[in-house]
Amino acid sequence: MNNGLKASYVTLGCKVNRYETEAVRAKLEAAGFETVRPTEKADVCVVNTCAVTATAEAKSRAAVRKLISASPDALVVVCGCSAEINPQDLTDIKGVSLVLGNDKKPDIADIIIAKLGARDPLKVKPRLRTRAAVKVQDGCDNFCAYCIIPYARRGMTSRPIGEVMAEIESLAAAGYKEIVLTGIRLGSYDDSGVDTAGLVRKVCGVPGIERIRMSSIEPWEVTDGLIGAMKHPKVCRHLHIPLQSGSDSVLEQMNRPYTSAEFLSLAEKVRREIPEIGITTDIIVGFPGESEDDFADTLRTAEAAGFSRTHSFRYSIRKGTAAAEMTGQIPEGVKKERAARLNDLTDSLSLEFARKMTGKTHPVLIERFDAETGLARGFTDNYVEVYVETPPGTKTNRIIDVEIAEATAERVLGKAK
């Protein structure tokens, strides 16, 4: 049912932000707000910003301006880490109605409802439900030298296990098949004696939930207990473990508590214990002081780790962090050139990983149909997106067995079995 009011949402940054925006959206939809695309005219616009880098902040401000130009009369609510760290930069944008810090996130929907109210209900199209992110933890105390998050999300908190399980049970009842457990430091989950591994085991027991995936997890938090829990058939054979650099001296400067050799031995152990697992990662290029030799170590480590997907980004100064004060800032041209070399390598690693899957059968959660090719699209459990030839009548939100037929730089193709 809707109240005649339209709402649009833009989320930047991490899975935790995505989860939090989803929570606002779910509450507003329950109150009758219709969700529209960010390019459409809306009565209320919510922008959940990111401040992980200066570029992320600039993108956040650009997103706010774009929404305002699509909906000049809307109530524009800006939240997230950029709103926490630099609220004035956002308040100064003409058309912004409210700038709210992270502590206000749970109240955003109520604030909007109080301002705009709920009116005559009309019919509204239900949204497709396939995969839902569930936030279980917030905050970080590691203070990596480049990262603003420990300043923006202070302290480490875990949601009560009862509350998490109740949410997952209600998502299962609503038809969701896959749960993505998220947290700023997912691997540090700890409530009433339940750690991350225990949490994964509990979620495996929820009827209706067919797949459990974990969002990013720090290398020092991938424990033997967690690897053991991942052997349950419902748990996706996928881990996103941020490497950030393959140079030991850069890792030390970054305040990352591991060496490249330790990272590689973890990757090897995970592959030994969970065959065909997809290991994805984040890498920062051009951290202050990164020499050509340091960068060569990163290339070597990435290749040895055999990542199936890599999110690489060029370091940019983040005011308020330790790295912003470091000498040896790398010129933009050098960062660009290194990033291009890294991307060439990681693209070929992704292709190599997908090629090894050809001829094999993998479960794929069908999430949508591609407008251009008419093929179904979805992810394997080890996180490779596949375009699937399916029999007529195939529906979304089903996990089907798919034989991987071909992997090219453009796409991975498969056929429903």
Of the candidate spans 38-46, 141-149, 165-173, 350-358, the one that interacts with ligand SF4 by CB under 6 A turns out to be 141-149
CB 292 within 8 A of CB 300: no
Q: Smallest distance from the beta carbon of 184 to ligand SF4, in angstroms?
A: 5
Q: Both tokens of residue 227? A: 């690897």
List 62, 143, 311, 347, residue binding ligand SF4 (CB under 6 A): 143
| Residue 147 within binding range of ligand SF4, rule CB under 6 A | yes
Beta bridge partner(s), residue 34: 6
Of the candidate spans 73-81, 146-154, 259-267, 369-377, the one that interacts with ligand SF4 by CB under 6 A turns out to be 146-154
Identify the CA nearest to 302 among candidates 335, 275, 279: 279
Lay out the sheet containing 6-11: strands in order across.
34-35, 6-11, 44-49, 75-80, 98-99
**Cα-based angle 150, 14, 376 (whole degrees, multiple of 5):** 165
Taking residues 155 to 194 in sequence order and writing x for each that binds ligand SF4 by CB under 6 A, - otherwise, the string is -----------------------------x----------
Give, as ranges, the residues between 200 and 229 that touch ligand SF4 (CB under 6 A): 218
Distance of CA 295 to the CA centre of its chain: 26
List 80, 150, 219, 378, residue binding ligand SF4 (CB under 6 A): 150
Of the candidate spans 138-146, 161-169, 225-233, 290-298, the one that interacts with ligand SF4 by CB under 6 A turns out to be 138-146
Residue type, 46: V
Q: Which residues contact 149 (CB under 8 A, 6 or more apart)?
A: 52, 81, 140, 184
Parallel/antiparallel/unpaired status of strands 412-416 and 385-389: parallel
| Residue 342 within binding range of ligand SF4, rule CB under 6 A | no
| Residue 140 within binding range of ligand SF4, rule CB under 6 A | yes
Residue 359's SS3 state is coil
List 90, 149, 366, 376, residue binding ligand SF4 (CB under 6 A): 149
> What number of chain residues touch ligand SF4 (CB under 6 A)?
9
Q: Smallest distance from the beta carbon of 147 to ligand SF4, in angstroms?
A: 3
**Could you please report the per-residue DSSP string of 189-252?**
-EETTEEHHHHHHHHHTSTT--EEEE----GGG--HHHHHHTTSTTB-SEEE---B-S-HHHHH
CB 184 within 8 A of CB 153: yes
Taking residues 87 to 126 in sequence order and writing x for each that binds ligand SF4 by CB under 6 A, - otherwise, the string is ----------------------------------------
Tokens 């979620």 -> residue: 203
Q: Smallest distance from the beta carbon of 129 to ligand SF4, in angstroms?
A: 29
Would you say 83 or 98 has its CB closer to ligand SF4? 83
List 97, 142, 343, 361, residue binding ligand SF4 (CB under 6 A): 142
Residues near ligand SF4 (CB under 6 A) = 140, 142-144, 147, 149-150, 184, 218
